[in-house]
Amino acid sequence: MAAMSLDAVQSQRQRSAPAAGPMTQVMGRRFMVSAGHPLAAQAAASILSAGGNAIDAGVAAGLALGVVHPDMVSFAGVAPILVHLSATRETFEVTGVGPYPRQASADFYRTQCAGEIPPGLLRTVVPASPDAWCTALERWGTLSFAEVVAPALECAEQGFPLSVFSAYLIGRSADRYRRWPSSAALYLPGDAPPPPGHRFVQAELAGTIKLMVAAERKARGRGRAGAIRAARDAFYTGDVARRIVEFHAREGGLLTLEDLADFHVEVAAALRTSFHDYEVATCGFSCQGPVLLQMLDLLEGCDLAALGHNSPGALHLITEAMKLAFADREAYYGDPRHVKVPADGLFSKVYAERRRALIREDRAWPDLPPPGDPYGLAAVRNGAPTVPPSPERGHTGALDTAYVAVVDAEGNGFSATPSDPSVDSPVIPGVGCVVSPRGSQGWLAPGHPSEVAPGKRPRLTPAPAMAFRGGRLFMPFGTPGGDVQQQAMLQVFLNIAVFGMLPQQAVEAPRLATRSFPDSFWPHPSAPGVLEVERRIPPETRAALADLGHVVTEWPDWDWRAGAVCAVVVAPDGTLMAGADPRRGAHAIGW
């Protein structure tokens, strides 16, 4: 069966998308999960029904996404996580992204790779998600690794019906899979893309999971935490690690046993900012999460409600605030272990006020605005901008990512954005999946804060969030979508916090995205002034935006490139409500 066309997928999505309104709400009081794939949502719900907490369930869903969404998520990929503990009202981030190998450097790519970060093993960074899942489970969960990975193992070993969306994405990338025999063997059975409903079996990945489960079982005498660490170590220091490194050594990769064995995710307090009577938390500067916080700081001084939802004036202000935040992202964001990031200045309300003055109500910035000076709290930094010129017009449209949000009966919250597409690097024989090709988000421009360096983490696009109200968890939320992530999350949050929508209404409302900044994926192209707008935004609104100087391009009515936001809202009386985006077949389950 031939792969479905984009038009066919969009047509099906438009027909199947529910109408916005309260009748589409999924509600519950005991627990709620919203995830980027129905089987991942079911994995979390089964764990919650069996007595697990939000962290157990979130880890189960994240592990499952690495199996049932193999086009967008790797079992050995990235997984930034936020965890909220209701008993202590603490919110933690798990970094969830690994560094470049010790042998990688910007000079290596400039001199040995013709100034490129090429597809294949040379994009590999240390895989972070196995450690991230195990760390969250060990610290805040209650169950064993074997219990939470059981749904993922079942789907890998016995197979699952491939979704329409995944079948479409695999089909459109068939030539990219053919570059590597191990990838073609898994993703193109019979040298053809599998159709929707195909029973997709991942026997080698099931074998990897079984090695981790067996290591945990063997280490039961070390207690629950020690046994989970043994499962983790089976990946980073055992047979799985050796298979990864042997393939790299044979095929010209850079990853070594030392790179894997020395890796551990970081756990820290989440970053926060206030927005009226809300607080919003994200992961730190090893990802783009703080962009959302800067956007909210910029918009806090704007009366969006008076302008009206998705009015030309409101959309213009939102777009210009996004441009300002992305300008600072390019100038300052990088791995905090390698780059001094001026966080205090970037989150200063005074700084936001001065940057906000750069927004003109009657005219859009034609390109990316200049970065500010967070050190001196000035609207514009003196001197030439650090953002290098874009190599070409357009953007990559890179595949990436899924998402899961969970809230349990005690009010604990989990928000995670696991990722890593399977088209950028070969499947590792004997492991059964691609190992994190997130090195594609590095830079070779000298002096860029995300310039590639040995042991340095690339600046990650996946970035989950949580919102709070009155000191209590209000909403874990997130989305796939590369550079669109923070833009889509901003619009959904504003739909709820400013315009009073229920979560499903907020998720389904039409969206837009600016492309005026360098894309996070190599080779970092940009499209100055381009504003992509879903067609459900009325023609007169699009025309008004064009009159303001935006280069408006149309997305279909329901476009997967606009993200797939999932959210769980905790009402004041404890009722749980969810939003699950129909643009990519997300699903919510509550009880």
Q: Based on the fold, state whether residues 113 and 137 are members of the same structural domain.
A: yes
- Tell me how many helices (H) and strands (E) the chain has: 21, 19
Is 247 a residue whose pLDDT tops 70?
yes
Q: Establish if 46 belongs to a structural domain.
A: yes
Is 367 a residue whose pLDDT tops 50?
yes
- What is the average pLDDT score of the chain? 93
- Three-state DSSP class for 243? helix
pLDDT in the model for residue 26: 76
CATH code, domain with 378: 3.60.20.40
pLDDT in the model for residue 400: 75
Q: Based on the fold, state whether residues 386 and 535 are members of the same structural domain.
A: yes
- In the chain, how many domains are there? 2
Q: Based on the fold, state whether residues 128 and 11 are members of the same structural domain.
A: yes
Q: Establish if 447 belongs to a structural domain.
A: no
Mark which of 373, 407, 441 sits at the end of a domain. 441
pTM: 0.94
Residue type (1 letter), 510:
P
Q: Establish if 450 belongs to a structural domain.
A: no
Residue type (1 letter), 170:
I
Q: Residue 264, exposed/middle/buried by CB under 10 A (0-12, 13-18, 19+)? A: middle
Q: Based on the fold, state whether residues 164 and 296 are members of the same structural domain.
A: no
Would you place residue 397 in the very low, low, confident or very high pLDDT band (cuts 50, 70, 90)?
A: low
Would you place residue 383 in the very low, low, confident or very high pLDDT band (cuts 50, 70, 90)?
A: confident
Q: Establish if 26 belongs to a structural domain.
A: no
Q: Establish if 90 belongs to a structural domain.
A: no
pLDDT in the model for residue 5: 40
DSSP 57-77: HHHHHHHHHHHH-TTT--TBS
Residue 130 structural domain: 6-17+38-75+96-263+422-441
pLDDT in the model for residue 19: 33
Is 394 a residue whose pLDDT tops 70?
no
- Residue 261 CB neighbour total at 10 angstroms: 13
Q: Based on the fold, state whether residues 51 and 198 are members of the same structural domain.
A: yes
Per-residue pLDDT tens digits for 282-339: 999 999 999 999 999 999 999 999 999 999 999 999 999 999 999 999 999 999 999 9
Would you place residue 398 in the very low, low, confident or very high pLDDT band (cuts 50, 70, 90)?
A: low
Per-residue pLDDT tens digits for 506-530: 999 999 999 999 999 999 999 999 9
Q: Establish if 453 belongs to a structural domain.
A: no
pLDDT (average), residues 558-579: 96
Per-residue pLDDT tens digits for 223-245: 999 999 999 999 999 999 999 99
Q: Based on the fold, state whether residues 11 and 137 are members of the same structural domain.
A: yes
pLDDT (average), residues 339-352: 98
Q: Based on the fold, state whether residues 321 and 232 are members of the same structural domain.
A: no
Q: What are phi and psi of 309, to 5 degrees?
A: -65, 130
Q: Based on the fold, state whether residues 255 and 296 are members of the same structural domain.
A: no
Q: Establish if 313 belongs to a structural domain.
A: yes
Q: Residue 239, exposed/middle/buried by CB under 10 A (0-12, 13-18, 19+)? A: middle
Q: Based on the fold, state whether residues 575 and 549 are members of the same structural domain.
A: yes
pLDDT in the model for residue 555: 97
Q: Based on the fold, state whether residues 481 and 382 are members of the same structural domain.
A: yes
Select which of 24, 273, 282, 401 is catalytic: 401
Percent of the chain surpassing pLDDT 70: 93
Q: Based on the fold, state whether residues 274 and 184 are members of the same structural domain.
A: no
Percent of the chain surpassing pLDDT 90: 92
| β-sheet with 566-570: strand ranges across | 26-28, 576-580, 566-570, 472-478, 465-469, 278-282, 271-275
Q: Establish if 1 belongs to a structural domain.
A: no
91 carries an active-site annotation? no
Q: Based on the fold, state whether residues 233 and 295 are members of the same structural domain.
A: no
pLDDT in the model for residue 24: 52
